[in-house]
Chains A and B, each alone.
Chain A
Amino acid sequence: MSHIHDMGGRLGTGAVAPVANEPVFKTDWHARAMAVTVLAARPGGWTIDASRHARELLPPADYMRLSYYEKWIAALANLLAARGLVTTAEIDAGQSLAPAPTAEIAKRIAPAEVAQMPAGSPYVRGAGPAPLFAAADRVRSLRPAMNRCGVAGGHTRLPAYAAGHVGRVVAQRGNHVFPDTNAHGLGEAPEPLYTVAFAARDLWGTEAQAGDEVMIDLWQSYLEAADD
């Protein structure tokens, strides 16, 4: 059901291998991949949700083979091609074969905009449906974890490991832009976002320690009231 990126709980990955004193960027191309991807989003006209989904759409074999910044660059190529901003002929040629539209060039990011702290874009919106849940309410996440906005195989931020489980609302975070629509150009459709606590034993069985919890940010339409 889920795309390959949905890693939570997956078995067989081996140990985590932390490296002490790792440089911020291991190589020059890591740094440039980060910068080019960040800078392309505004002239490219896509949202953070669309760029995440482009990485999720990489074929599973590529997703597992490619390192982190390689995934970014592969997804960037696909986003640019889908928008008609870069053609496969240009990728083959390694150079531009036609200028970009002036409207897109006008949206280019200036050095001064990133020289200190690159400006963010808040995702909280004033508008949205009234909250259905409050702190301490018991809620059940919908199962299966999937896009319910009419996009087959589309983007969602409900992890598969947490689908169909009962948890406890610990906080209401306001109305947040809804990734399931926003990733597909279907509007921001903001709705209440909650942090929900799930007992680790409910998710993983007796392998987990009693009392441990997994806290997940979930949008209202991922949830229904749990009676028990």
Chain B
Amino acid sequence: MSHDPTDHGPDYLASHGHDKAAPPHSHLPSDPALRVKTLETILVQKGLIDPAAIDALIETYSTRVGPQNGAKVVARAWNDPDFRAALLSDPTPLLAEMGLIGRQGEHVVVVENTPAQHNMVVCTLCSCYPWTLLGIPPTWYKSDAYRARAVRDPRGVLAEFGVTLPDGQSVRVWDSTAEVRYLVLPMRPAGTEDLGEAQLAAWVTRNAMIGTGLPQSPAQGEAAP
């Protein structure tokens, strides 16, 4: 298959006759906030972006879509064995019913921690993350250090999060190279036997659902904010 030079790839820097020494992005101002403002201004002036949609999108990911969504799913799985079994087998219908299917959460797979196996999620090629369940990824998840080391030295990375796994528990690191998004189902902590779903959700942390943390138990400390 030959590449058609009239299409839009692969070399954006060389297309449309731009000088390779000065690709379009190098024309942006040096201050990062001004760089964003420049493109935002041009796109809004051209009618390609509705400024109210910018506000709505920021509001959505600041308040409505975040790790509280994933925590609800985990708490329900802890509390309802049938839901848990269905979630591990095919989460899509359950998540659709809970309104948790959308951008960067179209194809979710739930992986279960057990005493024999710990799961941890990374995206070494960019920063793929289950936005519908966990919201916008934290800075460390997008860092070169995490992307480089999670696959090579997961136990060393876990130590940096204060997590030491017991002897005999193996690690599976899931590298999100496709559009499948992984959610870790942590083990239910001790001391939560009498809690209902809403109370349980408070003990599910974001990092526990990525696999870089473990849920705290009421005996250990404070619930997730």
Residues of A within 8 A of B (CB): 5-11, 13-19, 21-22, 24-29, 31-36, 38-40, 43-44, 46, 48, 50, 52-55, 57-59, 62, 64, 67-70, 73-86, 88, 90-92, 94-96, 99-100, 104-105, 108-124, 149-155, 157-159, 161-162, 171, 173, 176-177, 179, 183-186, 193, 195, 197, 200, 203-204, 207-209, 211-219
What CA separation (Å) do A39 and B154 show in the bound complex? 35
Q: Does B38 contact A (CB under 8 A)?
A: yes
In-complex Cβ contact of B46 among A21, A32, A100 (8 A): A100
Instruction: Say yes or no: A16 contacts B140, CB within 8 Å.
Output: yes
- Of B37, B42, B109, B170, which one neighbours A90 at CB under 8 angstroms? B42
Contact code string B138-168 (vs A, CB < 8 Å = 1, else 0): 1110111111110111110100110000000
The reply to whether B177 and A218 form a contact with Cβ atoms under 8 Å apart is: yes
Measured between beta carbons, the chain A residues less than 8 angstroms from B57 are 34-35, 38-39, 114, 118
Query: A119 to chain B: closest CB distance in Å?
Result: 6
Question: Size class of B's contact patch?
Answer: 35 or more
Say yes or no: A159-B148 contact (C-beta < 8 A), given A18-B160, A29-B33: no
Residue on B nearest A26 in the bound complex, by CB: B139
- B88 CB-CB contact with A under 8 Å: no
Q: By the criterion CB–CB under 8 Å, are A27 and B47 in contact?
A: no
- B198 touches A (CB below 8 Å): no
Bound together, the chains give a CA A55 to CA B174 distance in angstroms of: 22
Which 8 pairs between the two chains have the least Cβ-Cβ distance? A8-B124, A81-B24, A74-B25, A217-B178, A96-B45, A7-B147, A10-B148, A150-B1
Sample (26) of A-B pairs whose CB atoms are under 8 Å apart = A7-B144, A8-B147, A10-B144, A13-B144, A13-B149, A16-B149, A19-B140, A32-B36, A33-B36, A39-B53, A69-B36, A81-B12, A82-B16, A91-B39, A95-B41, A117-B102, A149-B1, A151-B3, A173-B107, A176-B179, A203-B152, A207-B153, A209-B170, A212-B155, A214-B172, A217-B178
